[in-house]
Structure 1
Amino acid sequence: MKRILFATLLTLCTTGPAMAWSNHAMASYRAFEGMPEVARAATVPAEPLESFLAAQAQPIAQLLAQQDAWAKAHIAHYPPLSAALRFDAQVAQQGPQALRKAFLTALRVSPESRLALYIQPDPWSTAPQAEPLAHDTVSALPARDKDDDDHHFVRLSPGEAVAPLAVLASASDEPDYGMDLNLWEDSPSPWGARYGFGKIPFGNPSLAFSTQAPFHMGFYHESPVIYMAAGFLKRTYPLLRIHQYRGLSELAFRSGHTYWGWRFAGLAMHYVQDLTQPYHASLAPDFSATRLIGINLLAMLGMPGAKNNMIILLSNRHFVLERYESQMVQADAQGRQTGSVEQALHDTRTDAGYPAWSDQYVRDTVANQAHDLGVTVTSQMLATVPTGYVNDPSFDFGLHAKDIDLMTEVARQGAAPKAALESTIATLMRNAGAHSRNLVRGILLDVSQH
């Protein structure tokens, strides 16, 4: 059975976009603009990463060692940090660039990570009178030509006062800017082989963007049959990133580096939000283990049509869900109107109904909830979105997405189907907002108690 399922499951993981929500910052602005602890927090002075590292080198070294020990105990198949990669506070004596490289290496993120001083302005606010930044100043990835996704960056100067909401929201999109690229033994990078993560568990090691997928997806709630066939599914590391950045956020807050307190909180929040997307928390929504086995048996008998069709369908549904959410957010921002997505992101009524934040929260609450919603979300798309986009394997939506006005296409199906789909997406956004706020509440609570 393991051999039967392995090839299919491995292929499934390589399809579809590796990002979850198209532009996390836009949703994060809405989720936190009504949370007083963030929206009314005093402005903070922008601080270069190197300044924070130099001031807190020894505490950072201690924290990263503690985080490595935690990961050994709590994350399946975690490869311990080698002695050669450990952060040594003495490297601060070698200058800011050596310090920066040592820190990024100890985190095992791409050494090319920009971590520039910038914000992504809130489209609902007045455009800032500040210097725009080129995309490659902020991101190690080429500008994305996807889903009408519109990223604008403006420069911050060291010491410049900036609203915590802007820092937090902007950072929530940043892990999609190349921080988790090419971290594998078989990646075309000089650092991948040193990091110790082994060969990429799924994804194409030669396609840079897909190499981040195992850090942004977590398949924690699949059938035991699936895990028996594909143990590689357990080699995912969003929980590692959340723990790392959450701890750094708390250290920064406690030591008076409030800019980096908010910045690291935003980085941690990205992975929480990723796992609210059903296609990041569920391997193949609406496909049972039995069905997967049958499809792959046909492929092994020389009839790969069903398998190829399934891969296209899953990829299309993943793209459609993200594109529709993105278009809803952009349309409301352009029209300065509060639609169902904004209302859901503002809604705090469910926040207190979740458990208190803990190391288990993301796996047991966030990912579990998203996994359970996979079938419902898929069924809603099948009932609402034009069939050619979500149930026709002869059409690759990803290749044509930028030319499709999905909101207009769905509107043609009628008001009731459109409202039903948008209600389903609003549910996902309500969850994303609640879990994001609960993360930040957990950070601020820990800081206040220590």
Structure 2
Amino acid sequence: MRRFYHAVAISCLIASPQVFAWGNHSFPAYRAFEKMPEVAEAAPVQVETLEAFLKAEEKPLEALLASQEAWAASNIDKYPARPSVLAFKAEPNRSDDARRLAFLSALRVAPNSKFALYYQPDPLRPPANPTMLPHAAVNTLPETPNSTYRYVALKPGEMVAPLAVIASASDEPDYGLDINLFDDSPSDWGKVYGFGAQPFGNPALPYATQAPFHMGFMHESSILYTAAPFIKRTFPLLRNYQYATLSALAFRTGHPYWGWRFAGLSLHYLQDLTQPYHARLAPGNSTAKLLGANILAMAGMSGMKDGMVILLSNRHLALEKYQTELLQNAAKAKQDTPIEKSLRNSDQDSKYPAWNDTYVRDTVAAQSAAFGAQLADLLVAAMPPGYVSDPDFDFGVKESGINLVNELAKREPADRAKLDAAIADLLGHFGAHSRNAVRGILKASGNQ
């Protein structure tokens, strides 16, 4: 019973309603790949609907999705088996809608996911007079204030650059694909997908229901795992593997559009874990402090725990907003800052282990988790105290009216420079790991 109460208290530390790691992933993804020959110099590919791909490759997909399930059972801790009724079976006579639903159900993603034909334009090179899609045509989640999303319509048969496809798709899992997938979610599909109760976060908040798929606490102390074993129930490795192997299959079978698009989808989960607030339960807080806050909360004194929750959320959101503003401002001004250079820099790529099925856990998440305490200290030093050190301030509520670049211009230049350098380092990891993942996918597909 004592362990149960620890778990309940610790679960409250993961409470941010929005769990985006790097804002709009397409912004840094364009920079990460714009000098990678395998992507930037790849020939344009023909746009194809998801339904056309599924119909053409039913039998290979049946075998692949079965192999994905076997891999997950062997490689993912606390993996909840997919109900056998959801297995994908080739049925050539069914309708396109039925086949699509069977595919999404076998992946266990939200069946109302759009998978529209679109791309997000490079903010550094916007297209002239594009045909735009409304937010709701691409994304099932509500449009947020000051949204950076811009969706350019594509048509089947149209030619598009692989760079645009992979950069755009790297942002797509934040468009509702992982929403309401648990037993206690307010959806029909969550009750049949077999993921169990939501391990952390608030099931009533739509954004929060995707958190266990976009966060991975794989490098915490054994004490925390004993007190709160549910924090191991995270699934970014599953999603990364599912989409990476789908990408390799699409390339092998002559569907390069979906090869690049699935590659981008797989990258999203890796990229999320390069952000320390997605790879550590509470960056900057010791295990002893976490357990101490929980003990006090169990005794009816929840002030310390509640304050930690707010500060973690505020720092997470402030980091994301500041990084997005930096990239947006640089693109508008046509500036090549240290962040853009770090994203493109491939010098570090070969210094990491060769790509493998557990690279996301053993290399990406481990590196990010180790960066957590340093990042928390830099945020506290550089940001206005009210935003990141005041538990009575809710950054998420006030975010749309805050310009962090302007705010930090008033702060100590040396502290801001250190934070900017840390963000450049982290986005350098984002770029290097993304490129290594693509090399792994292309190798698996026989294209490298």
Same fold per superposition (TM over 0.5): yes
User: Per the alignment, in what secondary structure is the counterpart of residue 432 of structure 1?
Assistant: helix
Corresponding residue SS for 1:198: coil
Bigger drift between 366-375 and 339-348 goes to 339-348
Q: Report the equivalent of 2:133.
A: 133
- In the alignment, the residues of structure 1 paired with residue 192 and residue 64 of structure 2 have an alpha-carbon distance, to the nearest angstrom, of 21
Listed one character per residue, the Cα deviations across residues 79-123 of structure 1 (whole Å, up to 9, x for unaligned) are 222221111111x31111111111101100000010011001111
CA distance in 1, matches of 2:269, 2:283: 20
- Whether contact under 8 Å (1:4, 1:293) holds in the other structure is no
Output the amino acid matched with 1:172: S
**C-alpha separation in 2, matches of 1:394 and 1:368:** 32
Unaligned runs of 5+ in 1: none
2:34 aligned partner, one-letter code: E
Distance in 1, Cα, partners of 2:292 & 2:160: 56
What is the correspondence of 1:13-412 to structure 2 with a 5 Å cutoff? 13-15=14-16, 17-90=18-91, 92-145=92-145, 148-412=146-410
Describe the SS at the equivalent of 1:136. Answer: helix
Amino acid at match of 1:275: L
CA distance in 2, matches of 1:15, 1:266: 25
TM-score by length of 2: 0.98
Q: What amino acid is the match of 1:446?
A: A
Q: For residues 240 and 2 of structure 1, what CA distance do their matches in structure 2 show?
A: 27
CA deviation vs aligned residue, 1:163-208 (integer Å, no higher than 9, x gap): 0000000000000000001101111111111100111111111211
Kept in 2, the 8 Å contact 1:8–1:292? The answer is no
How far apart in 2 are the matches of 1:58 and 1:290?
Answer: 52
Distance 1:44 1:221 in 2: 39
* Aligned residue identity for 1:403: G
How many angstroms apart in 2 are the aligned matches of 1:15 and 1:444?
36
User: What is the CA–CA distance in structure 2 between the aligned matches of 1:27 and 1:115, rounded to whole Å?
Assistant: 21
Matched, 1:442 2:407: no
What amino acid maps onto 2:320 in structure 1? Answer: E
Q: State the secondary structure of the residue aligned to 2:178.
A: coil
Structure 1 residue identity aligned to 2:152: V
For residues 170 and 250 of structure 2, what CA distance do their matches in structure 1 show?
17
**5+ residue gaps, structure 2:** none
Q: Give the number of aligned pairs.
A: 447
Q: In the TM superposition, what is the alpha-carbon distance from 1:312 to its structure 2 partner?
A: 0.8
Deviation (angstroms), 1:388: 1.0
Superposed CA RMSD in Å reads: 1.2
Once structures 1 and 2 are overlaid, which stretch shifts more, 75-84 or 366-375? 75-84
**Distance between the aligned counterparts of 2:447 and 2:266, measured in 1?**
20
Which residue does 1:416 correspond to in 2?
A: 414
Quote how far apart the aligned CAs of 1:415 are: 2.4
3-state SS in 1 of match to 2:12: helix
Deviation at 1:414, TM superposition (A): 3.1
Cα distance in 2, alignment partners of residues 12 and 414 from structure 1:
30
Name the stretch that deviates more: 118-127 or 154-163: 118-127
Classify 1:407/1:449 alpha carbon distance in 2 versus 1 (closer, same or farther; 3 Å): closer
Could you list the per-position Cα deviations for residues 209-265 of structure 1 after superposition, in whole angstroms to 9, with x for gaps in the alignment? 110000000000001000001111111101000110000000000011000000000
CA shift at 1:4, angstroms?
5.2
Instruction: Give the counterpart letter for 1:2 in structure 2.
Output: R
Are the counterparts in 1 of residues 26 and 168 from structure 2 also a CA contact under 8 Å?
yes
2:38 corresponds to 1:11? no
Question: How much does 1:7 deviate?
Answer: 2.5
Moved more, 416-425 or 244-253: 416-425
Q: Tell me how far 1:16 sits from its aligned partner.
A: 5.5
